A and B are shown apart, each in its own frame.
Chain A
Amino acid sequence: MSAGTIHVGDELPVFELPVTSTVIVAGAIASRDFMPAHHDSEYARGQGAPDMFMNILTTNGYVSKFITDWAGPEAMVKKIAIRLGGPAIPGQPLRFSGQVIAAEDKNDERVFEVTIRAANDLGDHATGTVVVSLPLEPSS
């Protein structure tokens, strides 16, 4: 993507993440989060959760991936603001969707505001906004 090809109202390509125990554990350990609720189903259930669940760092990581898979390598993520809902658990695919709601030129880049939603069969896992920019004149 380049700044000129994105318009307010555009919807991002939907990304469906097949959430498994491996996805949850891989993200937890890559983010150095060793809380048992993110790798131990029995422990998580003992705490009242339906199963082990994705940690917030991993959710933010997948939001960033969702945005830059669409916007491309020139994109710079400036802000990821999410409200956390139900848990992301094994066997419940997470469906990421988003829409461009604002665009503004600042200095040498165009700054986009994108609403995002990651939901599974339990409801919304994360909803919020991402601010991402692209250069007005690509460097290459």
Chain B
Amino acid sequence: MTADDPVRDSLERFIGKPMGEGAVAPEEVNLPMIRHWVDALDDRNPIYLDEAVAAETRMGGVVAPPAMLQTWTMPSPVIAGIAERGGAPTAMKSENVVTALDAAGYVGTLATNSELEFERYLRVGDRLKTTSALESISPRKRTGLGLGYFVTWITTYWAGEDEIVGRQLFRIFKFDPSTMGGAA
């Protein structure tokens, strides 16, 4: 417990808990979305679209670009009102550490770290889902943006019911923009 920081104390209950309902990919890993990504990023690695070349590699056939991992489970957005929701694709259904910090005045968000790990490359037909857990919340810290908390969570990506195919550690700094430049 930190006697001088009731906001931080109030967040302790979120640690180890899911960040929200897990996501289920709306579609299986599929060639049209892979092609869209390959064209958008001009990534011409032949293992993503050229079956003949991919079959000659240790991939044994076409695979999805690994960095697409998070793309497969991105929520279907409600475009209307997305700006008013601060960019959130849909309304937040449940309270989590982010909504609690917003409510406490720490409305600023800056992503600071992303760590993607891939257990295997995905293939057309894989159907992903995610689970998440809040790993840690730092003590209140002052940065150039003001006072805030570093919040770290881990999302686990599953294919089918029981196979882990990847993980992402994500860290953000949630800060109070009104405290920029002030004393700690």
Contact = CB atoms under 8 A, between A and B. Distances in A.
Interface residues of B, number: 41
B183 interface: no
Contacts of A82: 113-115
Contacts of B116: 60, 79-81
Interface in B52-97: 53-54, 56-59, 65-68, 70-71, 74, 77, 79, 82-83, 87, 89
Interface stretch (B12-20, B39-47, B127-135, B156-164): B39-47
Contact of A73 (B45, B67, B77, B118): B45
Interface stretch (A30-38, A90-98, A116-124): A30-38
Interface of A: 26-27, 29-37, 40, 43, 48, 56-58, 60-65, 68-69, 73-74, 76-84, 135, 139-140
Contact of B41 (A32, A58, A135): A58
Interface of B: 33, 36-37, 39-43, 45-47, 53-54, 56-59, 65-68, 70-71, 74, 77, 79, 82-83, 87, 89, 111-118, 121, 169, 177
B36 A79 contact: no
Contacts, number: 114
Given A60-B114, A61-B68, A84-B113, A40 B41 contact: no
Contacts of B40: 26-27, 29-30
Contacts of A68: 43, 45
